[in-house]
């Protein structure tokens, strides 16, 4: 008797993937990738993997040596993942950090999907095309670095990077100056105090909070005038409740969004790297959003 296609698929050994970090128990990645696998029919097994703070490299090598196919990397290991990867994508090189790894022909590949996750969430899920727009990026750490190249590829008119330390903002812009020139994107960077000179009504169309202020429940020092009606205020963080930044932006009249869609979209890009299949993100995002709303109602 010939097995049916469904039976054959169920007998296919699942390829192993993990998300690695410390801590890791809170990660929503297993639920996201399980939904992607079910939707696409890909034989994927995805779990959390806790690595010792001083044992990231050994943990990753043991995973690959044991037949693992790929992994996502979260805090605090993205810089170590960058150093471990033997072949980097251009966006990983630009970000200086890796959040997605896989092994192919014995070579460890590294990518950074955070930035493309951000731009896809803004352009697709939030229906806000970035071409010709003026973008204000708050912060100049790893999150901002990962965002720069994908943001430039969307061909905005201008990207302003504001940071507590002005030199850090200048360093990020210098790193992507060639790409910005190729795409015709104007770059400007400075300290938060310089934002006061941008408070005209056309100063920005999109304000992205890439600082860690939301983790501490603090508000980044952005003038209220930059968050008025017609502006999209986006926080890379997400939670059951709006962040302090999003609450402030809403009070100023801006349209707001957290980074939950970015989480789903960057996972979809990682899934595509691994499997060559791009899953639909809208139903997964809707499920996660409902779960967050349920948490907020408790």
pLDDT level of residue 8 (50, 70, 90 thresholds): very low
Q: Is pLDDT above 60 for 5?
A: no
Q: Is 74 annotated as a binding residue?
A: yes
114-161 tens-digit pLDDT:
999 999 999 999 999 999 999 999 999 999 999 999 999 999 999 999
Write the pLDDT tens digit of every residue in 218-239.
999 999 999 999 999 999 999 8
Would you say 165 is a known binding-site residue? Answer: yes
- 78 given a catalytic annotation: yes
* pLDDT higher than threshold 70 for residue 271: yes
Domains and CATH numbers, the chain: 5-112+262-297 (3.40.50.10860), 115-258 (3.40.50.720)
Residues contacting residue 166 through CB under 8 Å, at least 6 positions apart: 189, 190, 191, 194
Using the predicted structure, report yes or no on whether residue 41 has a pLDDT greater than 70. yes
Count CB-CB contacts under 10 A for residue 138: 27
55 has binding-site annotation = no
Catalytic residue among 78, 133, 229, 247, which? 78
**Residue 143 among known ligand-binding residues:** yes
Question: What is the per-residue pLDDT for 257?
Answer: 98
d(CA 46, CA 152): 32
**Residue 54 labelled as part of a binding site:** no
- Percent of the chain's residues with pLDDT above 70: 95
Across-strand partners of 110? 88, 101
- Residue 245 in contact with residue 209, Cβ under 8 Å? yes
Residue 7: is its pLDDT beyond 60?
A: no
β-partners of residue 17 are 46, 70
Q: Say what the pLDDT of residue 97 is.
A: 95
Q: Residue 214 — pLDDT band, cuts 50, 70, 90?
A: confident
DSSP 224: G
User: Between β-strands 70-73 and 15-21, what pairing exists: parallel, antiparallel or unpaired?
Assistant: parallel
Burial class (CB in 10 A: 0-12, 13-18, 19+), 80: middle
175-213 confidence digits (pLDDT tens): 999 999 999 999 999 999 989 877 665 679 999 999 989
The annotation status of 27 as a binding-site residue, yes or no, is: yes
For the stretch 43-66, pLDDT in tens is 999 999 999 999 999 999 999 999
Q: Is residue 142 marked as binding?
A: yes
The overall average pLDDT reported for the chain is 93
Q: Is pLDDT larger for residue 293 or for residue 43?
A: 43
The mean pLDDT of 32-36, rounded to a whole number, is: 98
**Long-range contact pairs involving 277-282 (C-beta distance under 8 Å, separation at least 24):** 277/40, 277/42, 279/35, 279/36, 279/39, 279/40, 280/39, 281/120, 281/124, 281/125, 282/125
Q: Strand, helix or coil at 1? A: coil
- pTM for the whole structure: 0.93
DSSP codes, 187-204: EEEEEGGGGGGG-STTS-
């Amino acid at each position: 008797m010939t097995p049916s296609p469904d039976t054959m698929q169920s007998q296919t050994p699942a390829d192993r993937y993990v998300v690695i970090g410390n801590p890791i128990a809170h990660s929503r990645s297993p639920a996201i990738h399980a939904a992607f696998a079910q939707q696409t029919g890909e034989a994927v097994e995805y779990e959390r993997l806790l690595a010792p703070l001083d044992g990231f490299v050994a943990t990753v090598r043991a995973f690959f040596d044991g037949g693992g196919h790929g992994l996502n990397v979260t805090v605090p290991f993205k810089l170590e993942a960058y150093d471990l990867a033997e072949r980097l994508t251009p966006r990983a090189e630009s970000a200086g950090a890796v959040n997605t790894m896989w092994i192919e022909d014995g070579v460890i590949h590294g990518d950074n999907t955070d930035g493309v996750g951000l731009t896809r969430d803004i352009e697709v899920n939030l229906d806000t095309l970035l071409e010709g727009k003026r973008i204000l990026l708050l912060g100049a750490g790893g999150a901002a670095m990962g965002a720069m190249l994908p943001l430039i590829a969307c061909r905005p008119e201008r990207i302003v990077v504001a940071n507590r330390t002005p030199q850090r903002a200048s360093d990020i812009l210098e790193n992507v100056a060639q790409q910005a020139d190729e795409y015709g994107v104007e770059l400007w960077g400075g300290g938060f105090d310089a934002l006061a000179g941008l408070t005209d009504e056309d100063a920005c169309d999109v304000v992205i909070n890439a600082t860690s202020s939301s983790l501490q429940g603090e508000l980044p020092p952005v003038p209220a005038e930059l968050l008025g009606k017609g502006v999209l205020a986006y926080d890379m963080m997400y939670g059951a409740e709006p962040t302090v930044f999003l609450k402030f932006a809403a009070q100023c009249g801006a349209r707001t969004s957290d980074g939950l869609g970015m989480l789903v979209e960057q996972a979809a890009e990682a899934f595509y790297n691994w499997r060559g299949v791009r899953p639909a993100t809208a139903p997964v995002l809707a499920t996660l959003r409902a779960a967050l709303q349920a948490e907020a109602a408790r």
